[in-house]
Amino acid sequence: MVELKLGGATVTRIEESYEPNFDAQKFFADWNADVVLEHRAWLSPNHYDEASGFLKLSVHSWLIRVGGKNILIDTCVGNHKPRAYRPKWHMMETKYLERLAAAGVKPDEIDMVMCTHLHVDHVGWNTRLDNGRWVPTFKNAKYVFSREDYDFYQKMDADPEKGPVNGGSFRDSVLPVVEAGLAQMVTGAASLDEGLKVEPAPGHTPGAIAIKFESRGEKALFCGDILHHAVQVYHPEWNSFACLDQDNARKSRKAALEHCAGAGARLMPCHFGAPFTCHIESKGGGFAPRFDGNF
């Protein structure tokens, strides 16, 4: 289990899946053979599967334990959810909650859930199946959602031409939380409890947020899908197929990397391969990841 200290906080990776799961060329339109040659030393096998040409992307949550509170950032795909359009995520049955328990936390002990945006692989464990109904998995938590993302997807979901959106996850993983009165919508920049700050980082989705954390002088940036893969540290101009606003996605990615390099904040992505987190260094007018040997 990946666990690290950030000041007075303990941060643990709660894995849902980690396997070659997306064709690199389809995921990044800019993917090319030269990039594989240039970066092979770190790329393979943790971040790229050369045999299949698939990216090896992790899907995980970060559990932050700080000041007696348990905070969960992003909630993966979830179990038993029909996602036929993406077979690897269809009707999953993973041991995610068992892994959370192994980290020492039961669902009822989660105080706050934060979704960096409302895509299917960031909201799934918000709810679980109970007698044929989707109910909040973390019933004692407040769930932090971006108001901009919520409004954007609610409108689209209600449009018979466009809904259900995000593979159905808006209906089975977001709405039940709102209906249970557990959602806390944030707009713009906001300071939350326990050294957490939310800042708008639009592009991948209209209301995507960057979550900044600081404890005893140590800093981290939970970036959601501002970056999907470590190759984007070298190529911040590369967007994924899932980035909605191309220009803003690039701007938000560059701003996140500049913040990490300038402030020494550890980058805490949702999908990077092992070791799943890194520092960012300025290098030759651009950036490079520094993976350390802590875990």
Q: What is the smallest separation between the CB atom of 271 and Zn ion, expressed in angstroms? A: 6
Q: What is the smallest separation between the CB atom of 119 and Zn ion, expressed in angstroms? A: 5
Q: What is the smallest separation between the CB atom of 142 and Zn ion, expressed in angstroms? A: 22
Residue with smaller CB distance to Zn ion, 66 or 210: 210
Residue with smaller CB distance to Zn ion, 148 or 225: 225
Residue with smaller CB distance to Zn ion, 149 or 225: 225
By CB under 5 A, name the one of 225, 252, 253, 259 that touches Zn ion. 225
Residue with smaller CB distance to Zn ion, 195 or 269: 269
Residue with smaller CB distance to Zn ion, 157 or 225: 225
3-state secondary structure the chain: CCEEEECCEEEEEEEEEEEEEEEHHHHECCCCHHHHHHHHHHHCCCCEECCCCEEEEEEEEEEEEECCEEEEECCECCCCCCCCCCHHHCCCCCCHHHHHHHCCCCHHHCCEEECCCCCCCECHHHEEEECCEEEECCCCCEEEEEHHHHHHHHHHHHCCCCCCCHHHHHHHHHHHHHHCCCEEEECCCEECCCCEEEEECCCCCCCCEEEEEEECCEEEEEEECCCCCCHHHHCCCCCECCCCCHHHHHHHHHHHHHHHHHHCCEEEECCCCCCCCEEEEEECCEEEEECCCCC
Phi and psi for 79 in degrees, rounded to 5? -95, 150
Q: With contacts defined by CB under 5 A, name the span among 50-58, 176-184, 217-225, 285-293 that binds Zn ion.
A: 217-225
Q: What is the smallest separation between the CB atom of 140 and Zn ion, expressed in angstroms? A: 26
Binding mask 117-136 for Zn ion (x = CB under 5 A): ----x---------------
Q: What is the smallest separation between the CB atom of 14 and Zn ion, expressed in angstroms? A: 15
Total residues contacting Zn ion (rule CB under 5 A)? 2
Phi and psi for 260 in degrees, rounded to 5? -65, -45
C-alpha to C-alpha distance for 291 and 293, rounded to whole angstroms: 7
Residue with smaller CB distance to Zn ion, 57 or 66: 57
Q: What is the smallest separation between the CB atom of 38 and Zn ion, expressed in angstroms? A: 25
74 binds Zn ion (CB under 5 A): no
Q: What is the smallest separation between the CB atom of 242 and Zn ion, expressed in angstroms? A: 7
Residue with smaller CB distance to Zn ion, 66 or 270: 270
Q: With contacts defined by CB under 5 A, name the span among 147-155, 180-188, 224-232, 261-269 that binds Zn ion.
A: 224-232
Which residues contact Zn ion by CB under 5 A? 121, 225
